[in-house]
Structure formats: C-alpha cells, structure tokens
C-alpha cells in the first residue's frame, strides 16, 4: 500500500545585477576583494519535493523547463551527461540515492522557473537555492541564509564545476536590495534599506527586455578568469573600476539620487565589455544604441554577457518610446516588480490547508548583518 507523506514547496527569486558583477568570480575576490549591488524581482525558480513510501525507492525528477523526466535509484545513476546535471549535483551533495534511512522511501522533485535557462537573471543559482531550501526542511536542517547560499555555491561551482561567482546564490537566498562584499574567505551581505519612494521610482524607470537566445556564461567567465590570472592590464583595470562603481552606485541609491543610476549603468556596461571578448555582440549593441536614442540613459546585460536579458534605465517621460524601440529592434519587454523576500518554503498536507514552515528557509534575520567563512 502506498503511503503519501508531506509535500514541500519552495521558491527562490531571480535577480537583476546593477553593478559589480564579475568581481565575485574567483580568484579576483580572494586576491583583491569584490563587491556587487543587486536586487531580486518577482520572477522565481520553484521546487516541489514529495516523499512516498513504495517499493524500489529512488528520486524522480521532472523539469518543466526542459520537458524532461528521470529516475535516479542508485548513486551510479548520477552521471553528468548534460541532462539535468544541476539536479544530479544537488542530489549528490544533499541526498544521494541509497542513503535514506527508509529504503522504500521515494522522492519526487518537480522543478520549473519563470525565466528561460541561461538568460542572465541568475536562474540556475535560484533553482539550486530552491532545491536546497526544499531539502533543508525535508532533512529538518536549521541552515542560515549564508549556509543555504554556500551550499548552492558548492553544488554549482565545486561539485558540478560550473564557472561563476557567488552573487546569484546570495541574492536568491537573502532577497531584496543587497550590497554584497566578497573579502577573501568571507562573504558579507549588507541589506540596503531603500526608502519606498526611491524603490518605486527606480522600478518605474527601469525596463527589462529579453534580447533573444541565451548566453554561454561558462565560456565568457573562463575568458575573464584567464584575463585576470594572466594579469592583462585591461581586464584587471576594468574589474577594479567595476568594484569602485558598485560602491558608488550603492551610495547614490542610498542617497536617493535616482538620476545617477542611468549614467552609472552605462559606465558599468562599458567596463564590462572590457572583461573579455564576446561580452556583447552586434545584435545587443544595435538594440542598446536604439534604446539610448529613444531615451534610455543607460543599461547593461544583467548576466555574464553574450545575450539574455538587458536592463535599461529610462527618462521618466520616455519609457514608452524606449519600450517601442526595443521591440522594433527585436527585443521583448518583460514586466516585473521588485521582490523583497528571498528563499521561501512551505508545506502542503493532503486534506488540510497549506502551512508555512518558514517565510525564509534560513532562520533568523540576524543572518543578514553577519558574515560566513567559506
């Protein structure tokens, strides 16, 4: 007889990066210290975890984004072959098949995201954080927001070997506006208390558009890493200037100087294109130029580069013209709102209303003012 156990759901927000992206990619932060400014938006990665008791346990995974379904009954099934590798890495770290105390326990993991994979909004890291959050409550672990982010980082970077930084995991775990410092072996999350009128004006003047296609962040970030480790002057100077720009933008935002955001975003975009070859392309450049001509004060691709979503900051009276120019150039405007919360997880029990088991997956609010060694 099949016995159904509790069902857990979790969601982690995607993010937009304003400044500092790239300075969180090793070995730059370990050697020179990195800093990023980002905020989360109301686009999410979702994970549902359901446990059942039935013969021949294992873990079944369904991905709506990739239209894939797979079953992993033994540790030997978790072979990285380009199919659901992120999930396999998470299972290797969090719960390899065959390690359950109940051998007949079968897990079902259902995943989907509000944004296409590889589009620059930190979607893979948000999905990893959502998976960690679901397992956190399934395993009854009292992980902090820092520990959730570091587990997600370990899964992506150490276990799976995907090149990248740390900001995406921390943004998804903590949520809201954050200035995040990467100082050697420590990460410090500084939550920013943005006045409501400033946040509202900022949201009104930003425009997010999908430029088409995805980006190949691994390849681009590998080039950036090589440029830095070889101490190429242009790469090192651009990364240093990007870190200073993140600090400047954070200060202007706290002062409520919204008009400075557009100029600083443009400065950041020009610096970002110096990190490595391939950060931009003719299609993105043409769209950006048309947006600027229509009234955008600045903008940037929000991921590693090469495509995906572009963030534009507009003159308040010309946002509609910018949107039309972007669409005429082949972009697709995506509506969004700012999201103040990070990872959230709740339980759903059969025959009873949903019950919250933590507005955040990571415990107390004291997490947000401290640091963790990595």
Rounded (10°) angle between helices 123-138 and 167-174: 50
Two tokens, residue 306: 């090469």
Q: What are phi and psi of 50, to 5 degrees?
A: -125, 135
Is the Cα torsion angle 18, 195, 182, 261 positive or negative in sign?
positive
Which residues are 217's β-sheet partners?
A: none
**Is 109 in contact with 88 (CB distance < 8 Å)?**
no
B/e letters for 98-119, b = 16+ CB within 10 Å, e = fewer, are: eebeeeebbbbbbbbbbbebbb
**What is d(CA 176, CA 340) in angstroms, rounded to the nearest whole number?**
4
Is the Cα torsion angle 225, 231, 232, 236 positive or negative in sign?
positive
Which residues are 259's β-sheet partners?
A: none
Name the nearest CA neighbour of 132 among 114, 159, 164, 103. 159
Task: Give the count of beta carbons closer than 10 Å to the beta carbon of residue 248.
Answer: 16
**Is 137 in contact with 358 (CB distance < 8 Å)?**
yes
Told to judge if 168 belongs to the known catalytic residues of this protein, a careful annotator would answer yes
Q: Is 346 helix (H, G, I), strand (E, B) or coil?
A: strand
Select which of 168, 234, 240, 285 is catalytic: 168
**Is 128 in contact with 169 (CB distance < 8 Å)?**
yes
Q: Is 71 helix (H, G, I), strand (E, B) or coil?
A: strand
Q: Which residues, including other chains, have CB under 8 Å from residue 89's CB and lie 6 or more apart?
A: 80, 155, 156, 159, 160
Give 58: exposed, middle or buried? Use CB within 10 Å, 0-12, 13-18, 19+.
Answer: middle
**What is d(CA 337, CA 111) in angstroms, rounded to the nearest whole number?**
22
Pairing of strands 58-63, 105-113: parallel
**What is d(CA 12, CA 200) in angstroms, rounded to the nearest whole number?**
22
Two tokens, residue 85: 């590798």
The residues assigned a catalytic role are 168
């Amino acid at each position: 007889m099949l016995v159904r156990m509790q069902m857990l759901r979790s969601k982690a927000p995607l993010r937009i990066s304003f400044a500092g992206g790239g300075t969180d990619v090793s070995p730059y932060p370990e050697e020179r210290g990195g800093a990023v400014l980002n905020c989360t938006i109301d686009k999410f990665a979702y994970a549902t975890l359901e446990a059942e008791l039935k013969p021949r346990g294992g873990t079944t995974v369904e991905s709506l984004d990739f239209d894939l379904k797979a079953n992993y009954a033994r540790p030997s099934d978790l072979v990285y072959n380009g199919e659901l590798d992120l999930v396999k890495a998470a299972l290797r770290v969090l719960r390899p098949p065959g390690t359950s105390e109940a051998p007949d326990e079968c897990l079902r993991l259902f995943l989907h995201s509000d944004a296409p994979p590889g589009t620059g909004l930190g979607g893979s890291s948000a999905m990893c954080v959502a998976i960690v959050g679901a397992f956190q409550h399934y395993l009854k672990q009292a992980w902090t927001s820092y520990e959730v982010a570091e587990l997600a980082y370990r899964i992506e970077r150490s276990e799976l070997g995907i090149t990248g930084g740390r900001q995406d995991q921390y943004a998804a775990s903590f949520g809201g506006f954050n200035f995040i410092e990467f100082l050697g072996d420590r990460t410090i999350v500084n939550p920013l208390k943005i006045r409501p009128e400033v946040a509202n004006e900022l949201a009104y003047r930003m425009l997010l558009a999908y430029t088409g296609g995805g980006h190949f962040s691994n390849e681009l970030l590998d080039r950036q890493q090589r440029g830095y480790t070889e101490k190429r002057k242009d790469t090192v100077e651009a990364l240093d200037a990007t870190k200073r720009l993140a600090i400047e933008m954070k200060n202007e935002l706290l002062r409520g100087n919204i008009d400075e955001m557009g100029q600083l975003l443009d400065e950041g975009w020009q610096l970002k294109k110096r990190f490595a070859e391939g950060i931009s392309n003719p299609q993105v450049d043409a769209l950006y130029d048309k947006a600027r001509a229509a009234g955008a004060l600045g903008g940037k691709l929000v991921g590693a580069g090469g495509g995906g979503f572009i963030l534009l900051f507009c003159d308040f009276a010309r946002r509609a013209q910018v949107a039309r120019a972007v669409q005429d150039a082949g972009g697709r405007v995506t509506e969004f709102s700012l999201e103040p919360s990070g990872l959230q997880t709740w339980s759903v029990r059969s025959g009873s209303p949903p019950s919250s088991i933590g507005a955040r997956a990571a415990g107390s609010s004291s997490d947000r003012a401290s640091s963790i060694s990595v």
